[in-house]
Amino acid sequence: MNGRDEMLKKVQKLNFVMIDTGLYLNNQPENQAGQALFSKYQALHRQAKEEFEGAYGPLTYGGINTECDGWSWIKNPWPWEVED
Amino acid sequence: MWTYEKKLEYPINIKNPNPALAKFIITQFGGPDGELGASQRYLSQRYSMPFNEAIATLTDIGTEELAHMEMICAIVHQLTRNMTMEQIKEAGFEAYFVDHTAGLYPQAAAGFPFDALCFASKGDAITDLVEDMAAEQKARTTYDNILRMVDDPDVIDPIRFLREREVVHFQRFGEALRVVQDNLDCKNFYAINPEFDK
């Protein structure tokens, strides 16, 4: 697994905790432990996403840096692509 | 993957419910030239599309169509809120009401349900992009027809925005088609299908 794949997997893992915890909190909105878990992973995800985008390019429009990279949105490998 | 943004792309605030308008505006949710079909058409075509410009165009326009589907649903919802039984009968809204109450269901103005046959995905870059350009024009015509029948400025304003986006998308698909053709044999664009032949 190369550096990009490893860093992306970290973003995916942290984001999944947010997704799953968020679903739980929709029906248990007062749950303090759930809120703390969400908040912790929200910060970790934000940091990992910024690190990934700085190294390998944008995951969303918000991660685009035209000053450094130009219109990098179309340069990334697309998530469904595999190397032959 | 996708994440949800808890806002509309363009604001919608309809003061006066009017189920008679909802009856035909709903066609841009579930009709053959509606936003649901448009979003799924473009997002389905991306995977085998060659050239990053065209992939990005399909991804971003397909995503914007999801936002437009939400806008149409918001318009239909606001037009059908707080309805009395008298208003439902006067507007001829009984058939929809019996099946779906005031819930959102993807159907055409003529009442037939959403049909995936409307979202063409042929696996040929030129075929699909020409299809997409026609789709944008069909949606633009539909919005023009809707605008001929609506006199409420609260409805006209967001419908005009949606109509304008069809014109912009048509231009962007035209440019994507040009990028594809620039990468093909200029003497015979059909010598190969760049989505299949290597």
Let me know if residue A83 belongs to a domain: no
Q: What is the mean pLDDT of chain B?
A: 97
User: Are the C-beta atoms of B196 and B49 separated by less than 8 Å?
Assistant: no
B55–A74: do the CB atoms touch at under 8 Å? yes
**Average pLDDT estimate for A63-82:** 93
Instruction: Kindly indicate whether the ipTM for this predicted assembly is greater than 0.85, answering yes or no.
Output: yes
Let me know if residue A84 belongs to a domain: no
- Token reading at B131: 């299809």
- Mind listing the pLDDT tens digit for each residue in B4-21? 999 999 999 999 999 999
Facing B52 at nearest CB: one of A60, A75, A80: A75
- Mind listing the pLDDT tens digit for each residue in B143-173? 999 999 999 999 999 999 999 999 999 999 9
Confidence of residue A1 (pLDDT cuts 50, 70, 90): low
Spell out the domain ranges in chain B. Answer: 19-182
Given a cut of 90, is residue A76 above it in pLDDT? Answer: no
Q: Does B179 touch chain A (CB under 8 A)?
A: no
- Report which of residues A2 and B11 the model is more confident about: B11
Given a cut of 80, is residue A68 above it in pLDDT? Answer: yes
User: Are the C-beta atoms of B173 and B165 separated by less than 8 Å?
Assistant: no
**Average pLDDT estimate for B100-118:** 96
User: Are the C-beta atoms of B46 and B58 separated by less than 8 Å?
Assistant: yes
User: Are the C-beta atoms of B67 and B148 separated by less than 8 Å?
Assistant: no
Q: How far is CA B28 from the centre of its chain?
A: 6
Percent of chain B at pLDDT exceeding 90: 98
- Mind listing the pLDDT tens digit for each residue in A3-32? 999 999 999 999 999 999 999 999 999 999
What is the nearest CA distance from A76 to chain B, expressed in angstroms? 9
Q: By C-alpha distance, which of B126, B144, B5 is closest to B64?
A: B5
DSSP-assigned beta bridge partners for residue B113: B107
Strand (E) or helix (H) holding A55: helix A32-56
Query: How many domains, in total, are found in chain A?
Result: 1
Per residue, the 3-state secondary structure of B165-191, as one string, reads HHHHHHHHHHHHHHHHHHCCCCCCCCC
Q: How far is CA A58 from the centre of its chain?
A: 10
Q: How many helices (H) and strands (E) does chain A have?
A: 3, 0
- Mind listing the pLDDT tens digit for each residue in B32-61? 999 999 999 999 999 999 999 999 999 999
Question: What does the alpha-carbon distance between residue A26 and residue B101 come to, in Å, rounded to a whole number?
Answer: 26
Let me know if residue A33 belongs to a domain: yes
Backbone phi and psi for residue B9, each to the nearest 5 degrees, phi listed first: -70, -30
Given a cut of 80, is residue B189 above it in pLDDT? Answer: yes
| Angle at CA of residue B50, ends B49 and B52, nearest 5° | 100
The reported pLDDT for the residue numbered B119 is: 82
Facing B47 at nearest CB: one of A73, A74, A80: A80
Let me know if residue A51 belongs to a domain: yes
B contacts of A73 (beta carbons < 8 Å) = 56
Given a cut of 90, is residue B76 above it in pLDDT? Answer: yes
Exposed e or buried b per residue across A26-36, where buried means at least 16 C-beta atoms within 10 angstroms of its C-beta = eeeeeeeeeee
Measured CA to CA in angstroms, residue B25 lies from A56, A66, B100, B192 at distances of: 43, 39, 16, 41
**Average pLDDT estimate for B73-91:** 96
Return all residues near B177 (Cβ < 8 A) that are at least 6 apart.
Answer: B126, B129, B130, B133
What is the nearest CA distance from B148 to chain A, expressed in angstroms? 36
Exposed e or buried b per residue across B97-117, where buried means at least 16 C-beta atoms within 10 angstroms of its C-beta = beeeebebebbbbeeeebeee
The reported pLDDT for the residue numbered B198 is: 79
The reported pLDDT for the residue numbered B18 is: 97
**Which domain, by its residues, includes A29?**
3-74
Hey, which CATH number is domain B19-182, 1.20.1260.10, 3.40.50.300, 3.40.50.10140, 2.60.40.1080? 1.20.1260.10
